[in-house]
Amino acid sequence: MFDGFLLFTQGRGYPDIPTRRFLRYLVEQLHLPAYCLVDSDPYGFDILATYKFGSMQLAYDANVLRVPEIRWLGVFTSDFEEYCLPDCCQLQLSSEDRRKLEGILTRCYLHKEAPEWRLKLEAMLEMGVKFEIEALSASSISFLSQEYIPQQI
């Protein structure tokens, strides 16, 4: 069981520049580990990728904004079965979700720097389902903080 302290921050969806700079500071200057917990859907992954690899719009600033050390805590498509979540928490990928996911899968960094992430995304596409972080709290409000996050860390 994890026995330490955690500092949580959130970017309210896609991370803004101050949030990304703050996280970069924590990792680079204070040598703190960085973890990312996002919804199990293409947009959640895109948020994670923005933290780790930077954004296309700010590619010129990637070195000061990206956090290559960040680790993906979840949630993963496989968590749905592993934690026996109720069917009502699972949603089908929409055609827009599928297009977004297929576009993400063409990004070169998934081949070079994160092949294990690519496998998780391919599994999501193959299963055709998504779910939100909140689904992990379906059986217990404290499951996420007391069980899931400590197990992933």
Domains observed in the chain: 17-152 (3.40.1360.10)
Q: Residues of the chain with pLDDT > 90: what percent?
A: 54
Q: Residues of the chain with pLDDT > 70: what percent?
A: 91
Do residues 51 and 15 touch, judged by C-beta distance below 8 A?
Answer: yes
pLDDT for 125 beyond 70: yes
Cα separation, 21 vs 77, in Å, equals 29
pLDDT for 34 beyond 80: yes
Higher pLDDT, 136 or 94: 94
Confidence of residue 4 (pLDDT cuts 50, 70, 90): low
Task: Please compute, for residue 79, the number of CA atoms within 13 A of its CA located in the half-sphere on the CB side.
Answer: 29
pLDDT for 131 beyond 80: yes
Cα separation, 73 vs 151, in Å, equals 9
Q: How far apart are the first and last CA of the chain?
A: 9
Q: What confidence score (pLDDT) does residue 36 get?
A: 94
Cα separation, 142 vs 130, in Å, equals 22
Q: What confidence score (pLDDT) does residue 124 get?
A: 95
Confidence of residue 61 (pLDDT cuts 50, 70, 90): low
